[in-house]
Every structure is written in C-alpha cells, then in structure tokens.
Amino acid sequence: MTLDDILKEIEGAETILVLAHENPDGDAIGSSLGLCLALQNMGKKAEVLMSEYPANFAFLPGIENIKKAASFEKYDMAIVVDCPDIKRVNSEYIQYFESAKVTAEFDHHNKNSMFGDYNIVNHVSPACAQILVSSFEYLHIEITKDIATCLLTGIITDTGGFKNSGITAETFDFAGWALTKGVNVSKIYRDSMLITTRTKFEAQKLAMERMEFFDEGKIAFTYMTKADDEKIGIETGDHDGIVEMGRNIVGVEVSIFIYQRDDGSFKASLRSNDYMDVADVCMMFGGGGHIRAAGCTLEFPLEESKKAILNEVRKHIQ
Ligand SMILES: [Mn+2]
C-alpha cells in the first residue's frame, strides 16, 4: 500500500520538508507540526516552511519547527499536508518541493490534483490531521502527547469544534484517547477557537455591521477592503471565522465573505448549511474546497466581485 511506500521513503531520507497551503488554518498548522514532530522522533532532520501563521497557534508544541527560510538547499523528501494542489503552497517554497528527491501528500480536499509521487487523499475525512492519525496508527508511528496536541488542534479547528458534518466516531475516539494521554483539550479549544485579538474583534465587528441578506435571507454577504484592513491594523488570521458568522443565522443557506488582497483582487470564502455545494460554485472562479466550505479569488473591483459571486451562488439556491 502507498502508506508502506511512504514509510520506506521516510526511512531512506535524512532531510524532510513539510509544507501546507498558504494562509494556513489550524488544520494546516496542526498537521504540519504533528507530522514534523513524528519525523523528528524518527531521527529525521525535519522542518516546516511557512511565511506566517495566526498568533493564536503559538501555543502548539514544536512551533519552533516553523521556519520562514529553508535550512537546506535541497531536501531528500517533501511532504505536503492539507493542500489540494501545489499551486496553493507559497510560491517561494514550491522550488523545494520540485527539487526534493521524492514527494508525498496527505489531504482531504475534494478536488485534489494528486500532485505528489505518493498521494494519501481521503475526501470524506473531516480534517487532514485525522488522516495523519489513522496513517500513524497503521504505520505504528508513535503518537506522543505533543503530536496528539497538534493533530487534535487540526481536528478541532477544521470541524469547527466537533460540530461540522463529516465528523466520525474516529474523531471522538481520537479525542478521547488524547485526553487519556494528558492532552489539554479545553486549552486547545479555547486557544484555537475562542480566544480573539482586539484587531480580529474589530474586523468581525465591521464585517457584522456590513452584512447584507439576499434571496429571502438565504444568502448572507459581507466584505472588507484593503483600506479597512489598514485602518484596523489587521494581522494574519484576523479574517478567519468571519464567514461563519453569516452561516449561523436562521434561514441562511450560504454565507459569503470577501476580502481584498494586496494586488486588489478579492479572496472569497463560502460556507453552506444544507444543500449547496460551494466547492462547485468556487470552481467557476478557479477555486475549490469542500462541499460546505470553499474559496476562490475574484479578480474584479468590489462591486463587480460582489455581483459575480452572488450571481453564481443564486444559480444554486433552491
Ligand atoms: Mn483541512
């Protein structure tokens, strides 16, 4: 099986690079760090390359393994986690993936392009971290308390705190097992889900104030511009969670949040509740994701971007 092959490649490698998608969320960070710690415990020189990450994940064990710049010119192996396509990795780091002697990926996104030499992809897994849990168990790689803390953070954040569809009995089995290992589940929950910074709070306040509803309240929409971000002094991760606010309102099927990037384009995040396949919607703009959570880039000014995404979403409203 592919997993056995990946283990053989790991055993034959000395330097291993771990990568995840840009603008990393809790699953990308938790999966990267959990995998990196496991590789280090196997005697490997492993590190994670990430240009930035939200400050509330600084509590994670092994966070010092996250580097902005590569320690090696070339790696024996590169492993990508929680990423549907190599294009989603920070463009500065792709060269290290390409020059690595062998590559592998672990992922749970719908439209994964199978870009590694070895690909462990499970679309129905609620978090990439959960794929790592079962992979480690299969390969008899020890899940220490620190590794469990990282992986459980990935699971808790990607399931919205054990509430999204897609969670399985294994999700709770692992959480229960982690508790017996001494993992501080309530600290993980609080630090990764509840704690907020002042700038993040200000961003949420503005986005909430601006929220509009369309199609008898089935669509919720809000936005932020570059000028808003500058005024608030926004930091990495401060836009996270805004799209969830719209989804949690009675009658809303789909919540849309768009925010402006440095190049002027808008990053759109979509969340749906019961029937809309938002990955399908985002595909129309070259994006993708999961059935109930997806994203894409809109290359127009604010009003046109808003119109374009609303038009596409409306085709799917029942
Ligand atoms: Mn994920």
State the distance from the centre of ligand 1 to the C-alpha of 315, rounded, in angstroms.
27
State the distance from the centre of ligand 1 to the C-alpha of 81, rounded, in angstroms.
8
State the distance from the centre of ligand 1 to the C-alpha of 303, rounded, in angstroms.
30
Query: pLDDT of 39-87, one tens digit each?
Result: 999 999 999 999 999 988 999 999 999 999 999 999 999 999 999 999 9
State the distance from the centre of ligand 1 to the C-alpha of 215, rounded, in angstroms.
30
Identify the domain boundary among 168, 194, 220: 194
pLDDT at residue number 1: 77
State the distance from the centre of ligand 1 to the C-alpha of 111, rounded, in angstroms.
13
Q: Is the pLDDT of residue 21 over 80?
A: yes
pLDDT at residue number 208: 97
Residues 118 and 14 in one domain: yes
Residues 26 and 103 in one domain: yes
The DSSP bridge pattern shows strands 219-224 and 212-214 to be antiparallel
State the distance from the centre of ligand 1 to the C-alpha of 293, rounded, in angstroms.
10
Q: Which domain CATH number covers 274? A: 3.10.310.30
pLDDT at residue number 290: 87
Query: pLDDT of 202-248, one tens digit each?
Result: 999 999 999 999 999 999 999 999 999 999 999 988 999 999 999 99
Residues 127 and 242 in one domain: no
Q: Go through 115-143 and write b for each residue having 16 or more CB atoms within 10 A of its CB, e for each that does not.
A: bbbbbbbbeebbbbbbbbbebbeeeebeb
Number of domains the chain contains: 2
Q: What is the mean pLDDT of the chain?
A: 96
Query: pLDDT of 286-304, one tens digit each?
Result: 999 889 999 999 999 999 9
Main-chain phi, psi angles of 150, to 5 degrees: -65, -45
Model pTM score: 0.84
Range of the domain at 309: 198-314
Residues 89 and 190 in one domain: yes
Identify the domain boundary among 165, 194, 223: 194
Residues 19 and 157 in one domain: yes
State the distance from the centre of ligand 1 to the C-alpha of 28, rounded, in angstroms.
6
Residues 135 and 238 in one domain: no
The contacts of residue 48 (CB under 8 Å, 6+ apart) are: 17, 18, 19, 20, 32, 33, 36, 65, 66, 67
Residues 211 and 298 in one domain: yes
- Give the mean model confidence (pLDDT) for residues 170-190: 96
pLDDT at residue number 5: 98
